[in-house]
Amino acid sequence: MTEAGAADTLWLADWRRRIATLYAEVRERAGSDPVAAWEHWRAERERLYRSHPQSPVPAADRDAVRARHFPYDAALRFEALVVEPVPPPEVAAGEAGAFAAILPVSDGGAMSFTRIGRIVVPFPEGSRPLAVYWMAGYAGGLFLPFRDATNGAETYAAGRYALDAAKSADLGGDPAAGTLVVDFNFAFQPSCAFDPRWACPLAPPENRLDIPVRAGERLT
């Protein structure tokens, strides 16, 4: 590894530590004051995206980065029950590999996941199911990508993430009760929204919502 390569790797490790610390702080604060936790999350993410050497934003654009979010909506925070997985529509029940999932990637490739279950989200417009995944490679971790009717106008065209525990974006839950905290106010754009050099897994058809989710990070 070259000196420059070693430096980049150490800064990447630092970025991950800072994001992990941020989400630990969010989980602690959100129990008593979700809005304060969200405001802290917004401010710290903006600071990191503007100043950290491993920011996903191109260096020339970092000074202009501003946190743009929909107003906090308490009706879009849930503790959702993760129910048993069901085979995807194109796979017959009981068929081998029924719970494997191949998600599209922004660079045209694909990435392997395991579909661990699904949640049913009681949106104001009516309940909608979303699949919950576990990343098969890399560091592993829960993953909940989604698309909605704001994509391509107010938010990144290819969708956003509600959870990405491989990157420490995890809002908590109760494993004994089988639940996850899903707060769409913390939904964020993947790195490829800022720079196409990043390859990001994206929401498959089963996680494409027919309603707008006006919460979380936005582009405009």
pLDDT digits (tens, 9 = 90+) for 162-182: 999 988 999 999 999 999 999
pLDDT 10s digits, 96-117: 444 788 999 999 999 999 999 9
DSSP lists the bridge partners of residue 114 as 100, 134
The tens digit of pLDDT for each residue in 114-165 reads: 999 999 999 999 999 999 999 987 678 999 999 999 999 999 999 999 999 9
- Report in angstroms the alpha-carbon separations of 168 from 20, 109, 115, 116, 207: 5, 23, 19, 18, 21
pLDDT of 7 reads 86
How far CA 128 is from CA of 131, 207, 211, 220, in Å, comes to 10, 9, 9, 26
**60-84: per-residue pLDDT in tens?**
999 999 989 999 999 999 999 998 7
pTM score? 0.90
Q: Please state at what angle helix 34-51 crosses helix 3-30, rounded to 10 degrees.
A: 170
Strand arrangement of the beta sheet that strand 179-183 belongs to: 77-81, 179-183, 173-174
For residue 120, the Cα-to-chain-centroid distance in whole angstroms is: 17
